[in-house]
Chains A and B, each alone.
Chain A
């Protein structure tokens, strides 16, 4: 336990100091941390899922509070919670089905499911499933075969576990934790391979002799373009440098190293060049449930220019960037202001920036936001690891990954603080 605590604190510090860059790295590290938290959690005999959820939430709240702008943290926390719920559910359903099949006595059932003593196992499964997932055609259709099918798959396990009560409980508790950790491992795997999954679709979108514009640097975009290049597509890339971080220089360098014909342009030339561009492909910081995108600063301008010239604006996003929240005033609330030193030389302008010198407020303010909000109407297409989607479909896609109970995670955090 103490070592987990140390790990958590260490990670919290990194988040607070913004030492971790990029949502993929953050997501991965968050998942790894939560995995160790889960493995360290002492499991009670009863209601183990709740205990797991509680410990994950406790850590998750702190992580989110440490960097509320890095939505990937919250996303991963919610994903892990969702995993715990799902695993618990599947185990319970399995156990219940086993119990039902072996026709054990009623009181055992009651102790096992203390919350819902009166309900039958199938009903519990259906109920909990419906709370986990938002109502949809898929869940509705799944429900009927689920209750019928589960018994067949896990009947043998249920049979053996039904023999002795204590053995059953300990093995189940271990099984839940084990399953959850397995699933979290899968999640980590997903996060680290999302680039490849997205890049696989590159050929479907990039044609021969196309001109593609991108801004700033994104690993997803880099892999996407290179995948198309490997498939013998020859095309040209315009890279806008993405001031004030100038990550575009980095991307341009990577691209030319891999033999792509690249032109580096200034951000101001985006409007001039967009009329000759076939497609804008950019990475995102986060995708909101309404289909809006939190993206590196400057992309709203690019999206507007693309819309003016009817150029498709394509956003690449791994599933860990899909955020279940609906944004409110995201330009300010989901933004972060970076140091003015990136824009102005302090040596030159320190006299104007000084608060102490004059009376009242200083004359000069420097604004250096990190993100831009691109409204859904400006986005033509999202490409995630599950394929291409319309902005209007994102809420549905997102609902698959998260359970409705966890959406309010953040609000509790803020009220707790």
Chain B
């Protein structure tokens, strides 16, 4: 690798500056799929940072890299220190799941300071890349204008004789950034420009290799290699400070962005304006849950259907999935996630980049639009958030040299791989693990309808184990009945009961298997409402509770109760009981009665980790205390997929 880079080393100075982020992607032009293996995560950090703090490669990443390129050792820390402030300042305004990703298309967008739009980061990055490649000299100013901090970062990676100067420059450039005013930005930009010019001059002088000037090949490596050690020593002192600071910042960055609170006037208003669906009136909403979006029920289906032709920018596949969410036809974390990803896949296949736009940038905004449409139909689950994050990072990391069709196939295969590895294969691994915990004569209890648990039960049955299943169900979802039907058809012997009778059946139960919608890093299991009660009663009866959950559903949030974040179901579903005509007490209420009555239909609850004996995941069986470890490792891993 080094040899190859050496041979290519033709520093086009300005490009060097701007190309660093994309270096790895560009470098192996013939083998376009290479980025995943070769790309130093470093290069991605600007993009991923602005994406979401979660995606930021932890410091360890950086040092991993350094192992490969010793020369760069001191650099990453400084780089971080340069760019982190901005990232940090992005955090508060960033929405949970790109709720806000806007259809912004101005290229020369200088609204760095606004920063509220998370996807902006993507645009910026792709912009710079584009400019750098197409108009190497002319684009410089423009792109620098937009990227003072990335310039700084690049400089940092680009050890020069004038390193110390560059360092100073960087320090000064990062400061105004923190201030986040446009003036400051401009100054920063000027400074960085100056620095970059100086650097380029220096480099040009040094490496006299001719040719390939405007080419997009990365030039920075050889000089880096050469000058590494001296640089390291020269900046050793400042480096240490930088690293310390960066570690601290890194930690701060790890904080997930605050969730969108629906009762927040300013944001709620904006959401309302952009919404496709009618917002149900706020009447009779439970006060405790004003911060959550109200349930949108299937009655809006015809309305949405009629708007099909107005919302032409929504791909039909996405539209269909949205309608399915809205109608409640699609439920279950995995099913929803897979349907969404496949819809996106289809949309990507049919996608063609509009003229004067780049694929990465436009597609990201497109996906963002899809996502916000889906959110309107039904709030996303944590697992879907993770999947979207994955997809966006894949798009962002597409090598620019790829042709459109190549990029599309890459993305589609990426999605396929995600579905396969993270859901399908993960489930298979979970089956294997969980089946070892089922013995002959066991009485297994499950609640609601979890597809993983169902697979486990069927798998164990296929293995010939003799056991009985207790299916516990609860109004208003009554999903257990469908599960019961499927299990009985397969020949499993079952007992069916309602959640209230859980204490009655728990005496005989030997294991409790539960599914989860998400698992938070404090070990809290976020799952169908009622799961907490089941786990609690099982705990009280000293019955082990096994939670089965794929690792892609893990999330680094923490939550203590079920109220701060939840999803509201259709309140009217409560007053009706399917198949029971005798329960009609709430049918004819007077207006006065309705005024005082609130119906609350929660969808999820949070099970405290002390009720959980073990979490069965594709990484094996872990205690709830180990969830953060997986979250950390997992984050790193799917960045690199």
**A-to-B contact residues, CB < 8 Å:** 241-244, 246, 249-250, 252-253, 255-257, 259-273, 275-276, 297-298, 300-301, 304-305, 308, 331, 335, 342-345, 348-349, 352, 361, 363-369, 372-373
Contact between A367 and B566, CB atoms less than 8 A apart: no
Task: Determine the distance from Cα of A305 to Cα of B536 in the docked complex, in whole angstroms.
Answer: 8
Interface centre among A275, A343, A349 (most CB of B within 10 A): A343
Given contacts A249-B575, A252-B597, A263-B599, contact A305 B494 (CB under 8 A): no
5 A–B contacts from the bound complex (CB under 8 Å)? A243-B475, A260-B596, A269-B529, A272-B532, A368-B498
Closest to B540 in A: A304
Task: Determine the distance from Cα of A272 to Cα of B602 in the docked complex, in whole angstroms.
Answer: 9
Is the C-beta of B491 less than 8 angstroms from some C-beta in chain A? yes
- Contact partners of A275 in chain B: CB under 8 A: 561-563
Contact between A246 and B585, CB atoms less than 8 A apart: yes
Given contacts A266-B474, A364-B488, contact A297 B602 (CB under 8 A): no
Identify the 9 closest CB pairs spanning chains A and B, nearest first.
A268-B530, A298-B500, A272-B562, A300-B503, A249-B585, A256-B596, A272-B605, A271-B532, A268-B474
Task: Determine the distance from Cα of A348 to Cα of B601 in the docked complex, in whole angstroms.
Answer: 26
- Contact partners of B505 in chain A: CB under 8 A: 367
- Contact partners of B493 in chain A: CB under 8 A: 361, 363-365
Task: Determine the distance from Cα of A349 to Cα of B500 in the docked complex, in whole angstroms.
Answer: 21
- Contact partners of A349 in chain B: CB under 8 A: 484-485, 488
Task: Determine the distance from Cα of A33 to Cα of B499 in the docked complex, in whole angstroms.
Answer: 38
Contact between A266 and B529, CB atoms less than 8 A apart: yes
Task: Determine the distance from Cα of A364 to Cα of B468 in the docked complex, in whole angstroms.
Answer: 10
CB distance from A314 to the nearest CB of B (A): 19
Task: Determine the distance from Cα of A243 to Cα of B532 in the docked complex, in whole angstroms.
Answer: 17
Stretch with Cβ within 8 A of A (4 or more), from B315-323, B576-584, B623-631: B576-584
Picked from B528, B577, B597, the residue with its CB within 8 Å of the CB of A264 is B597
Task: Determine the distance from Cα of A305 to Cα of B529 in the docked complex, in whole angstroms.
Answer: 14
Task: Determine the distance from Cα of A324 to Cα of B5 in the docked complex, in whole angstroms.
Answer: 91
Is the C-beta of B496 less than 8 angstroms from some C-beta in chain A? yes
Interface centre among B589, B597, B600 (most CB of A within 10 A): B597
Task: Determine the distance from Cα of A389 to Cα of B533 in the docked complex, in whole angstroms.
Answer: 28
Contact between A345 and B579, CB atoms less than 8 A apart: yes
Contact between B501 and A368, CB atoms less than 8 A apart: yes
- Contact partners of A270 in chain B: CB under 8 A: 533
Given contacts A300-B503, A372-B504, contact A264 B498 (CB under 8 A): no
- Contact partners of A249 in chain B: CB under 8 A: 575, 583, 585-586
Picked from A253, A308, A365, A367, the residue with its CB within 8 Å of the CB of B593 is A253
Picked from A269, A366, A367, the residue with its CB within 8 Å of the CB of B602 is A269
User: Told that A257-B593, A266-B602, A364-B488 touch, could you supply 9 new A-B pairs with CB distance under 8 A?
Assistant: A246-B583, A249-B575, A266-B475, A268-B530, A272-B532, A272-B602, A344-B481, A349-B485, A364-B493
- Contact partners of A300 in chain B: CB under 8 A: 503, 537
Is the C-beta of B111 less than 8 angstroms from some C-beta in chain A? no
CB distance from B532 to the nearest CB of A (A): 4
Contact between B500 and A265, CB atoms less than 8 A apart: no
- Contact partners of A304 in chain B: CB under 8 A: 536-537, 540
Interface centre among A261, A267, A348 (most CB of B within 10 A): A267
- Contact partners of A276 in chain B: CB under 8 A: 288, 563
- Contact partners of B561 in chain A: CB under 8 A: 272, 275
Is the C-beta of B495 less than 8 angstroms from some C-beta in chain A? yes
Task: Determine the distance from Cα of A271 to Cα of B611 in the docked complex, in whole angstroms.
Answer: 13
Given contacts A260-B596, A272-B602, contact A301 B491 (CB under 8 A): no
CB distance from A48 to the nearest CB of B (A): 46
- Contact partners of A363 in chain B: CB under 8 A: 488, 491-494
Contact between B533 and A367, CB atoms less than 8 A apart: no
Task: Determine the distance from Cα of A246 to Cα of B562 in the docked complex, in whole angstroms.
Answer: 24
- Contact partners of A257 in chain B: CB under 8 A: 593
Contact between A264 and B600, CB atoms less than 8 A apart: yes
- Contact partners of A361 in chain B: CB under 8 A: 493
- Contact partners of A266 in chain B: CB under 8 A: 474-476, 529-530, 574, 600-602
- Contact partners of B600 in chain A: CB under 8 A: 263-266, 269, 273
Is the C-beta of B497 less than 8 angstroms from some C-beta in chain A? yes
Task: Determine the distance from Cα of A268 to Cα of B603 in the docked complex, in whole angstroms.
Answer: 9
CB distance from B439 to the nearest CB of A (A): 20
Given contacts A249-B583, A265-B600, contact A331 B533 (CB under 8 A): no
Contact between B504 and A301, CB atoms less than 8 A apart: no
Interface centre among B485, B529, B596 (most CB of A within 10 A): B596
Task: Determine the distance from Cα of A366 to Cα of B472 in the docked complex, in whole angstroms.
Answer: 10
- Contact partners of B496 in chain A: CB under 8 A: 343-344, 364-367
- Contact partners of B500 in chain A: CB under 8 A: 242-244, 267, 297-298, 301, 372
**Contact residues, B522-573 vs A (CB, 8 A):** 528-530, 532-533, 536-537, 540, 561-563, 566
Task: Determine the distance from Cα of A263 to Cα of B505 in the docked complex, in whole angstroms.
Answer: 29
Closest to B598 in A: A263
CB distance from B449 to the nearest CB of A (A): 13
Picked from A252, A343, A365, the residue with its CB within 8 Å of the CB of B498 is A343
- Contact partners of B586 in chain A: CB under 8 A: 249, 252-253, 264
Picked from B286, B529, B594, the residue with its CB within 8 Å of the CB of A268 is B529
Task: Determine the distance from Cα of A338 to Cα of B601 in the docked complex, in whole angstroms.
Answer: 27
Contact between B503 and A331, CB atoms less than 8 A apart: yes
Closest to B529 in A: A268
Interface centre among B484, B504, B580 (most CB of A within 10 A): B504
Closest to B497 in A: A367
Is the C-beta of B507 less than 8 angstroms from some C-beta in chain A? yes
CB distance from A92 to the nearest CB of B (A): 48
Task: Determine the distance from Cα of A208 to Cα of B577 in the docked complex, in whole angstroms.
Answer: 34
Is the C-beta of B606 less than 8 angstroms from some C-beta in chain A? yes
Chain B 380-396 near chain A by CB (<8 Å), digits 1 or 0: 00000000000000000
Closest to A249 in B: B585
CB distance from B485 to the nearest CB of A (A): 7
Task: Determine the distance from Cα of A352 to Cα of B504 in the docked complex, in whole angstroms.
Answer: 22
Task: Determine the distance from Cα of A319 to Cα of B596 in the docked complex, in whole angstroms.
Answer: 33
Is the C-beta of B502 less than 8 angstroms from some C-beta in chain A? yes
- Contact partners of A241 in chain B: CB under 8 A: 475, 574
Contact between A301 and B585, CB atoms less than 8 A apart: no
Task: Determine the distance from Cα of A165 to Cα of B504 in the docked complex, in whole angstroms.
Answer: 62
Contact between A264 and B504, CB atoms less than 8 A apart: no
Picked from A268, A273, A345, A365, the residue with its CB within 8 Å of the CB of B495 is A365
Task: Determine the distance from Cα of A256 to Cα of B585 in the docked complex, in whole angstroms.
Answer: 12
- Contact partners of B476 in chain A: CB under 8 A: 266
Task: Determine the distance from Cα of A364 to Cα of B492 in the docked complex, in whole angstroms.
Answer: 9
Interface centre among B488, B500, B536, B566 (most CB of A within 10 A): B500
- Contact partners of B583 in chain A: CB under 8 A: 246, 249
Task: Determine the distance from Cα of A255 to Cα of B586 in the docked complex, in whole angstroms.
Answer: 12
CB distance from B247 to the nearest CB of A (A): 36
- Contact partners of B597 in chain A: CB under 8 A: 252-253, 256, 262-264
Picked from B491, B529, B579, the residue with its CB within 8 Å of the CB of A272 is B529
CB distance from A190 to the nearest CB of B (A): 30
Task: Determine the distance from Cα of A242 to Cα of B500 in the docked complex, in whole angstroms.
Answer: 7
- Contact partners of A364 in chain B: CB under 8 A: 484, 488, 493-496
CB distance from A156 to the nearest CB of B (A): 59
Task: Determine the distance from Cα of A368 to Cα of B473 in the docked complex, in whole angstroms.
Answer: 12
Contact between A368 and B497, CB atoms less than 8 A apart: yes
Given contacts A269-B602, A349-B485, A368-B498, contact A250 B474 (CB under 8 A): no
Closest to A238 in B: B600
Closest to A329 in B: B507
Picked from A242, A244, A271, A335, the residue with its CB within 8 Å of the CB of B533 is A271
- Contact partners of A253 in chain B: CB under 8 A: 585-586, 589, 593, 597
Closest to A211 in B: B288
Contact between B495 and A366, CB atoms less than 8 A apart: yes
- Contact partners of A342 in chain B: CB under 8 A: 580
Task: Determine the distance from Cα of A297 to Cα of B503 in the docked complex, in whole angstroms.
Answer: 9
- Contact partners of A256 in chain B: CB under 8 A: 589, 592-597
Task: Determine the distance from Cα of A244 to Cα of B499 in the docked complex, in whole angstroms.
Answer: 9
Contact between A268 and B562, CB atoms less than 8 A apart: no
Interface centre among A242, A250, A256, A268 (most CB of B within 10 A): A268
